[in-house]
Amino acid sequence: MNNGSLIDRAKQWARSIKRDVVALWIAARDPRVPWYAKAAAAAVAAYALSPIDLIPDFVPVLGYLDDLLLVPLGIVLAVKLVPTDLMAEFRATASAREGRPMSRVGAAAIIALWALSLAALVWVFWPTLPA
Protein backbone atom coordinates (compact mmCIF):
# COMPACT_ATOMS: atom_id res chain seq x y z
CA MET A 1 0.00 0.00 0.00
CA ASN A 2 1.27 3.45 -0.90
CA ASN A 3 1.90 5.70 2.12
CA GLY A 4 1.09 8.78 0.04
CA SER A 5 -2.40 7.54 -0.78
CA LEU A 6 -3.00 6.56 2.85
CA ILE A 7 -2.02 10.04 4.02
CA ASP A 8 -4.16 11.62 1.29
CA ARG A 9 -7.17 9.53 2.34
CA ALA A 10 -6.65 10.48 6.00
CA LYS A 11 -6.50 14.17 5.07
CA GLN A 12 -9.63 13.84 2.95
CA TRP A 13 -11.43 12.05 5.82
CA ALA A 14 -10.40 14.82 8.25
CA ARG A 15 -11.71 17.49 5.85
CA SER A 16 -15.02 15.66 5.48
CA ILE A 17 -15.36 15.40 9.27
CA LYS A 18 -14.77 19.14 9.64
CA ARG A 19 -17.25 19.88 6.85
CA ASP A 20 -19.89 17.61 8.39
CA VAL A 21 -19.53 19.26 11.80
CA VAL A 22 -20.21 22.66 10.24
CA ALA A 23 -23.06 21.15 8.19
CA LEU A 24 -24.59 19.77 11.41
CA TRP A 25 -24.19 23.18 13.03
CA ILE A 26 -26.18 24.62 10.11
CA ALA A 27 -28.74 21.77 10.31
CA ALA A 28 -29.37 22.44 14.00
CA ARG A 29 -30.61 25.93 13.08
CA ASP A 30 -32.73 25.03 10.04
CA PRO A 31 -36.52 24.87 10.57
CA ARG A 32 -36.90 22.11 7.94
CA VAL A 33 -34.94 19.61 10.06
CA PRO A 34 -36.99 17.37 12.42
CA TRP A 35 -36.62 18.18 16.12
CA TYR A 36 -34.84 14.91 17.00
CA ALA A 37 -32.28 15.43 14.22
CA LYS A 38 -31.82 19.05 15.36
CA ALA A 39 -31.17 17.86 18.91
CA ALA A 40 -28.57 15.32 17.78
CA ALA A 41 -26.97 17.77 15.34
CA ALA A 42 -26.83 20.52 17.96
CA ALA A 43 -25.28 18.24 20.59
CA VAL A 44 -22.64 16.85 18.22
CA ALA A 45 -21.81 20.25 16.72
CA ALA A 46 -21.66 21.96 20.12
CA TYR A 47 -19.26 19.34 21.45
CA ALA A 48 -17.11 19.14 18.33
CA LEU A 49 -16.88 22.93 17.97
CA SER A 50 -16.28 23.52 21.67
CA PRO A 51 -12.78 24.74 22.49
CA ILE A 52 -12.86 22.54 25.60
CA ASP A 53 -12.82 18.72 25.53
CA LEU A 54 -14.86 16.59 27.91
CA ILE A 55 -11.75 14.48 28.48
CA PRO A 56 -8.62 16.67 28.18
CA ASP A 57 -6.10 15.47 25.59
CA PHE A 58 -3.31 15.20 28.16
CA VAL A 59 -5.10 12.27 29.85
CA PRO A 60 -3.34 9.17 28.46
CA VAL A 61 -5.38 7.18 25.91
CA LEU A 62 -8.78 8.52 27.06
CA GLY A 63 -7.84 12.07 26.07
CA TYR A 64 -7.87 11.22 22.39
CA LEU A 65 -10.61 8.60 22.62
CA ASP A 66 -13.36 11.22 22.39
CA ASP A 67 -11.73 12.82 19.34
CA LEU A 68 -11.16 9.50 17.57
CA LEU A 69 -14.36 7.64 18.50
CA LEU A 70 -17.08 9.72 20.13
CA VAL A 71 -17.09 12.66 17.73
CA PRO A 72 -17.06 10.56 14.51
CA LEU A 73 -19.75 8.21 15.88
CA GLY A 74 -21.88 11.18 16.91
CA ILE A 75 -21.44 12.72 13.47
CA VAL A 76 -22.50 9.47 11.76
CA LEU A 77 -25.61 9.23 13.95
CA ALA A 78 -26.61 12.87 13.48
CA VAL A 79 -26.01 12.77 9.71
CA LYS A 80 -28.26 9.70 9.42
CA LEU A 81 -31.06 11.55 11.23
CA VAL A 82 -30.98 14.62 8.97
CA PRO A 83 -32.94 14.11 5.71
CA THR A 84 -30.52 13.26 2.87
CA ASP A 85 -31.47 16.13 0.56
CA LEU A 86 -31.11 18.67 3.37
CA MET A 87 -27.78 17.19 4.46
CA ALA A 88 -26.45 17.55 0.90
CA GLU A 89 -27.51 21.20 0.93
CA PHE A 90 -25.90 21.81 4.34
CA ARG A 91 -22.67 20.11 3.21
CA ALA A 92 -22.52 22.37 0.16
CA THR A 93 -23.07 25.43 2.33
CA ALA A 94 -20.43 24.23 4.81
CA SER A 95 -17.91 23.62 2.01
CA ALA A 96 -18.45 27.14 0.65
CA ARG A 97 -18.14 28.69 4.10
CA GLU A 98 -14.81 30.09 5.22
CA GLY A 99 -13.75 29.53 8.78
CA ARG A 100 -15.25 27.34 11.40
CA PRO A 101 -17.84 28.47 13.95
CA MET A 102 -17.04 28.10 17.64
CA SER A 103 -19.53 26.82 20.17
CA ARG A 104 -19.51 28.83 23.38
CA VAL A 105 -22.62 26.91 24.47
CA GLY A 106 -20.71 23.64 24.09
CA ALA A 107 -17.81 25.04 26.10
CA ALA A 108 -20.19 26.28 28.80
CA ALA A 109 -21.91 22.88 28.96
CA ILE A 110 -18.60 21.07 29.39
CA ILE A 111 -17.44 23.53 32.05
CA ALA A 112 -20.76 23.04 33.86
CA LEU A 113 -20.38 19.26 33.64
CA TRP A 114 -16.87 19.44 35.11
CA ALA A 115 -18.07 21.81 37.87
CA LEU A 116 -20.97 19.50 38.77
CA SER A 117 -18.64 16.50 38.80
CA LEU A 118 -16.21 18.31 41.07
CA ALA A 119 -19.04 19.39 43.38
CA ALA A 120 -20.33 15.81 43.55
CA LEU A 121 -16.86 14.49 44.40
CA VAL A 122 -16.41 17.09 47.13
CA TRP A 123 -19.86 16.29 48.52
CA VAL A 124 -19.22 12.53 48.53
CA PHE A 125 -15.71 12.64 49.95
CA TRP A 126 -15.91 15.66 52.27
CA PRO A 127 -15.12 14.51 55.78
CA THR A 128 -18.13 14.78 58.00
CA LEU A 129 -17.64 16.18 61.46
CA PRO A 130 -18.95 14.18 64.38
CA ALA A 131 -21.93 15.79 66.05
pLDDT at residue 1, as a whole number = 54
Q: Which amino acid is at 20?
A: D
pLDDT of res. 100: 65
> What is the C-alpha separation between 16 and 103, in angstroms, rounded?
19
Instruction: For the chain, report the end-to-end CA distance as a whole number of angstroms.
Output: 71
Dump pLDDT digits (tens) for 80-118: 999 999 999 999 998 887 766 666 777 777 788 778 888
**DSSP 8-state code for residue 130:** P
Q: What is the number of residues in the chain?
A: 131
Interatomic CA distance for residues 7 and 86, integer angstroms? 30
Q: Is the pLDDT of residue 24 over 80?
A: yes
Residue 121 backbone dihedrals phi, psi, to 5 degrees: -65, -45
3-class SS at 85?
helix
**Alpha carbons 15 and 26: distance in angstroms, whole number:** 17
